[in-house]
Structure 1
Amino acid sequence: MKQARGEPAGSMAEQAPTPEAALLRRGRSARLAWLCLGLLLVGIGFVGMFVPLLPTTDFLILALPCFARSSPRLELWLLRHPRFGPALLAWRERGAVPRHAKLASCLGMVIGFGLFCWAVQPGWIVALMVAAVLVACGTWVLRRPS
């Protein structure tokens, strides 16, 4: 690094890291953050295999881009998984959701809304707002290719 004219030796300009070094340092910490997030999402997805109404595949779909940015080996492991791999590949390639998942999703939303209304007994405005969000989500799910 060249010393600017009139600048004393050992100044801040001389001690500042190069842009490449800062990028590498940031890259390493970003990869670690993506890896941790991906592992957390896989963990939640694993719990979802045993807890009713907690989705598994959704969390694995969210873990894929995290692993793509941090660990290609883990990304490949998910994509080649015998049980979840085909659904993850279908989502990645076509944005597809299997018919049974669409049915389960919409049924879960209807049951969830019914339980919400029964347990919380919200006012009609709140119930209408929640219903509107669920209808929008259901419409999006149903419009996905199968």
Structure 2
Amino acid sequence: MPDSKNGKLGRHFCLALGWVCVVLGIIGALLPLMPTTVFLLIAAWAFSRSSERWHQWLRQHARFGETIRAWEEHHAMPRRAKRIAFLALAASYGFTAFIYGPFSWAALIGGVCIAGVALYIAHIPVLVKPSEQTAES
């Protein structure tokens, strides 16, 4: 019995985490410099462990569904999404350096973290759509 109780508690936790991340993702879509996609990917992961209904809702969403499906199925990002991510990272660093100074601890630590995220994003494959594959052949 304890296992089923832990399983139910885990599902409730994942469901709550999913909704918190959906709300943060919506806020990120409205506010500059706050990420959207990362929160929605976490929400998709949490929903996949707690509610098939909400997981499918997010996968089929008109605005965000394509990105979520691409990540879940191919672990890849569209080229446009990578460009936007790099621009957002650069803007974040620029804002931090402007506010605190380019050689402040905040800018230096932030710059190292941003560089790490940029390297990770650079290593994610670009999602190639089937129409693009036939055009290249």
Q: TM-score of the superposition, structure 1-length normalised? A: 0.78
Deviation digits for residues 83-103 of structure 1 (CA, Å, limit 9, x no counterpart): 211111111111111111111
1:138 alignment partner in structure 2: 118
Cα distance change on mapping 1:47 and 1:22 into 2, 3 Å: same
2:11 alignment partner in structure 1: 31
1:110 maps to 2:90: yes
Q: Distance in 2 between matches of 1:36 and 1:143?
A: 31
Q: Distance in 2 between matches of 1:126 and 1:82?
A: 38
Identity of aligned residues (%): 33
State which of 38, 43, 53 in structure 2 corresponds to 1:63: 43
1:75 maps to 2:58: no
Deviation digits for residues 23-64 of structure 1 (CA, Å, limit 9, x no counterpart): 111111111111101011011111222112222222110111
User: What is the CA distance between 1:122 and its match in structure 2?
Assistant: 5.8
1:45 maps to 2:12: no
- Corresponding residue SS for 2:34: coil
Please give the residue correspondences for 1:117-132 in structure 2 after superposition, counting only pairs within 5 Å.
117-121=97-101, 123=103, 127-132=107-112
- Corresponding residue SS for 1:70: coil
Cα distance change on mapping 1:132 and 1:49 into 2, 3 Å: closer
Aligned residues: 126
Cα distance change on mapping 1:55 and 1:129 into 2, 3 Å: closer
**C-alpha RMSD of matched pairs (Å):** 1.7
User: What is the CA distance between 1:138 and its match in structure 2?
Assistant: 0.8
Q: Distance in 2 between matches of 1:104 and 1:55?
A: 10
1:89 maps to 2:69: yes
Structure 2: where are the runs of 5+ without partners?
Answer: 127-137
Structure 1: where are the runs of 5+ without partners?
Answer: 1-20
